Amino acid sequence: MLELANEQIAMGQTAADKAEALRLLADRLVADGLVAEGYLQGLQAREAQGSTFLGQGIAIPHGTPQTRDLVYATGVRLLQFPDGVDWGDGQIVYLAIGIAARSDEHLRLLQLLTRALGETDLAEALRRASSAEALLKLLQGAPQALALDAQLVGLNLPAEDFDELAWRGARLLQRAGCVDSGFAAVLQQAEPLPLGEGLWWLHSERQVRQPGLAFITPQQQLRYRDQPLNGLFCLASLGAAHQALLERLCEVLIEGRGQTLYQATSSRAVLEVLGGEAAPDWPSVRIVLANPHGLHARPAKILAQLAKGFAGEIRIRVLDSAQPAVSVKSLSKLLSLGARRGQELELLAEPAIASDALPALLAAIEQGLGEEIEPLPNTAAPVAATPVEVLQAPAAGSRIQAVAAAPGIASGPAHVSVERDIDYPLRGESPTQERLKLRHALAAVNAELQALVQRSDKAIGEIFVTHQEMLADPALADDVELRLAQGESAAAAWMAVIEAAARQQEALHDALLAERAADLRDIGRRVLAQLCGVQAQAEPEQPYVLVMGEVGPSDVARLDPTRVAGIVTAYGGATAHSAIVARALGIPAVVGAGAGILLLAPGTPLLLDGQRGVVSVAPAADELQRALAERDQREQRLQAAWAQRHEPAVSRDGHAIEVFANIGESSGIDKVVEQGAEGVGLLRTELIFMAHPQVPDVATQEAEYRRVLDGLGGRPLVVRTLDVGGDKPLPYWPIDAEENPFLGVRGVRLTLQRPQIMEDQLRALLRAADQRPLRIMFPMVGQVHEWREARAMVERLREEIPVADLQLGIMVEVPSAALLAPQLAREVDFFSIGTNDLTQYTLAIDRGHPSLSAQADGLHPAVLNLIDMTVRAAHAEGKWVGVCGELAADPQAVAVLLGLDVDELSVAARSIAEVKALVRQAEYQTARALAREALQQDSAAAVRALVERY
Ligand code: PEP
Ligand code: MG
């Protein structure tokens, strides 16, 4: 984060003109290692686009998006020019603040500066400042304004005594971001001050971030220290920010008007008496800010200028912040919002100008305020906006080539399941009525969830149990209650609280907690639908094709698998969650078909081929017939394959390949063997860890691994050591947030940093082995030394716990491991290629990316070449190679992998029979020719076309 410090300031500089001042700044930024040479051009280009003069003798030169790559580290450097530098248009700069920032971090700085900008004679004071300390004080020392707005007023709140009322006041201040969580405790220790008329005052300066005042009145009559307790002021005190307010309050009390406060029925009435910020009851619109660096100086300037063209007041606020609305016409106020990309803004305009001003401002923000903007992912369209993108539903007879996700052919009417906006009133009938409505809605949703728990299997059922717990969360209930008491409708109160809680989760930058945010929004919507009487879309009578944006596991759990013939998603790729879940359920699926698919009319006949990744819209009768005949043949083939599932997979010309299973839990191992597995080729142990509420100890782990080995009855078990970190955190194992977790501390990198956990796991594995064949492999190895460190640990433990049949290997899922395969092959016993990650890292496409992951195809010739290199290197040293990524189960890939001489394929248990059958149909010599040709292709699509021709 950008903060100001003495060392960043150079006092008493001189520059003949702006160009020289910029040069001095750039030199300083380069010398201090913040930016590369060449950043000066960025500063110049930025000034050419528009002056960075901020007012009050301050300019904030910074680079352009094109020079962002030259920034090594975020930071600022300040140069004081006591003689002033002409910044153009007669504006004189005494302090130039050079910013090196890659993203919107500088908004925090602007926010800080704008507080100082309100000071009337700041420019002169900056010019005269004689030391860095003095200058810094000028920038930071401006008093912060007291926060007092509708959020900080709580009327008729349930409270049994003074302490509870004080606690509620502290909560309001905390929610508004004025205080830290310990404030409630310090407030309890403060000495209450009676103000008269049953009004009381409490204050503390500890744990305060920003000065703020909360006012709370109790629902029932209370007394405290033998006096009435009609209302309580809780002050988060910082400096003299509350002085003016206190004076005004004294006047009100002297005039004997205290009851206007404690008998008030709306926060507006309270704020009017106290002179706080009441949100005006003006027409308003909302829009999500899409500017890459938020509302920084340049776009803010354009917005302020536009607003000045209207003869009336226009205000703006950031919806999820405690700050009151500010005038759009004031540049410094706009900057003080610190609005970031993705935050929702509300614009309010006086009724007389609203119909002209609001659409004009909205359009300007939508168009980027002079900047290029990237559309935001998954944001609702602005309330009064015109549609930006014109999407069309695919026409009847069209064929969409998307991504094959789960094999099989399905047909049926489209059941398009898209979240639609639900309108709801903001104000309620009465708190009692609204409370009752909410209680009924919560009970109904709870019953729905209970039904889902009962009909789901254990893992998915747990998702709904968590949802039930969220529904009953007392902290949510408290916050909703506060809002209901202020007259909000049940729907508005509920949604505001859910949204705030979800945002709080997301702000923690933790993948697991971010998932919790999605869960919160999920239950939020369910309750809202109940409150507003919105029925879930009726499912078609006959088996249908489900069309969705993306399908998460909880969506799938809600499906009735006997009625869902197939799944088509608009977004996602073959290794996306939706695809893996669909495969596990055996439902044909095609993913990444594009957003247009969501516009299909309900009931449109669809035909999908989950093997080729094709969706046909309203197909002609003969096409449908052909496909259905193919489906029947496939059914028959699968039945025949099932009958031979225990036979080995040997090609027509006698080449054998082993077919193993991928598993993530120890239970159900018998079923896996029953489905034809010749062993387990990948035990994802992190799933075992995740199923425990804390790190399982050695004995617990040993029992789990023993269970798998027992079930395998002498067949080999390939275990992967814990693969967490990055995007796969363990709830009980806090990992620092990383900007790019896929390239961060994950897999073996992480476990080597926590040797105790790794050692415990290895000890449990060795103990469980007895005389059975155990293979241990390490995930995400990218460097030879990582492998050696991990191997050394096993060898040390092996002296303590001897194991008869043990092999050690690595997962090849980082391109460097494949490229170093010749070196590694001398030392490992085997390789197992994780094509999911190998594809991701080779093609530089996040495997879960909403739009790109469709291109992360493991049949890409670049990935195939890495597989080929790995196999050749291993075989040269007499070592074996398995493939355990999703590619191994892709029907189009089986012959290619056979031809590349892979020794083992490890796939989801459900796919074993089919993969074995595909090997039996193939001819090894032909597959080798196919593989050689595939290595020469230039795209995954070309490889797939080639496979079709063979
Ligand atoms: C892989 O990356 O291919 C793999 C099997 O590991 P995971 O999918 O668990 O990351
Ligand atoms: Mg992996």
Q: Is 567 helix (H, G, I), strand (E, B) or coil?
A: strand
**324 is written with which tokens?**
């009151």
pLDDT at res. 921 = 95
Q: Model pTM? A: 0.51
Is 684 near ligand 1, meaning CB less than 6 Å away? yes
Q: Relative to the alpha carbon of 836, which ligand is closest?
A: 1
Q: Relative to the alpha carbon of 686, which ligand is closest?
A: 1
pLDDT at res. 390 = 46
Strands 199-204 and 193-196: antiparallel
pLDDT at res. 766 = 97
Taking every pair of Cα atoms in the chain, the longest distance, rounded to a whole number of angstroms, is: 103
Q: Is 420 helix (H, G, I), strand (E, B) or coil?
A: coil
List of the chain residues with pLDDT < 50: 1, 379-390, 553
Report whether 649 contacts 658 (CB < 8 A).
Answer: yes
Give the distance (Å) from ligand 2 centre to CA of residue 834. Answer: 5
62 is catalytic: yes
532 is catalytic: no
Give the mutation target among 724, 811, 846 for probing the ligand 1 site: most ligand atoms within 8 A of CB: 811
Q: Rounded to an integer, what is the distance from CA 403 to the centroid of its chain?
A: 23
pLDDT at res. 336 = 73
**Cα separations (Å) of 435 from 160, 390, 438, 469?**
19, 41, 5, 19
pLDDT in tens, 367-421: 899 888 887 765 443 433 333 334 678 888 999 988 888 888 999 999 988 766 6
The secondary structure of the chain in percent helix, strand, coil, rounded to multiples of 5, reads 45, 20, 35
Neighbours of 41 (CB within 10 A): 16
Give the mutation target among 721, 840, 884 for probing the ligand 1 site: most ligand atoms within 8 A of CB: 884
pLDDT at res. 877 = 97
Give the distance (Å) from ligand 1 centre to CA of residue 697. Answer: 25
Is 836 near ligand 1, meaning CB less than 6 Å away? yes
Q: Which helix (H) or strand (E) holds 334?
A: helix 331-336
pLDDT at res. 112 = 66
Cβ burial of 386 (10 Å; 0-12, 13-18, 19+) is exposed
Give the distance (Å) from ligand 1 centre to CA of residue 662. Answer: 10
Is 885 near ligand 1, meaning CB less than 6 Å away? yes
577 is catalytic: yes
Report whether 424 contacts 495 (CB < 8 A).
Answer: yes
Give dist(CA 407, CA 610) in Å, integer: 4
**Cα separations (Å) of 530 from 391, 424, 438, 536?**
30, 11, 9, 10
pLDDT at res. 851 = 64
Give dist(CA 941, CA 938) in Å, integer: 8
Is 837 near ligand 1, meaning CB less than 6 Å away? yes
E strand spans, 431-538 = none
Give the mutation target among 836, 842, 897 for probing the ligand 1 site: most ligand atoms within 8 A of CB: 836
Give dist(CA 323, CA 317) in Å, integer: 7
Give dist(CA 75, CA 83) in Å, integer: 25
Report whether 113 contacts 54 (CB < 8 A).
Answer: yes
Task: Name the nearest CA neighbour of 21 among 46, 45, 40, 42.
Answer: 40
296, 415, 655, 860: which is the annotated catalytic residue? 296
Per the rule left: phi > 0, alpha: psi between -120 and 50, beta: everything else, 257 is alpha
Report whether 329 contacts 308 (CB < 8 A).
Answer: yes
Is 835 near ligand 1, meaning CB less than 6 Å away? yes
Atom of ligand 1 nearest to the CA of 887: 3
With vertex at residue 218, the alpha carbon angle to CA 215 and CA 222, rounded to the nearest 5 degrees, is 125
pLDDT at res. 734 = 67
pLDDT in tens, 133-186: 888 877 765 566 788 887 788 888 888 899 989 989 998 888 877 888 788 888
Q: Relative to the alpha carbon of 884, which ligand is closest?
A: 1
Report whether 190 contacts 202 (CB < 8 A).
Answer: yes
Helices assigned H by DSSP within 341-392: 351-366
Kindly provide the b/e burial profile for residues 645-669, where b requires at least 16 CB atoms within 10 angstroms of the residue's own CB.
beeebebeeebebbbbbbbebbeeb
Give the distance (Å) from ligand 1 centre to CA of residue 649. Answer: 23
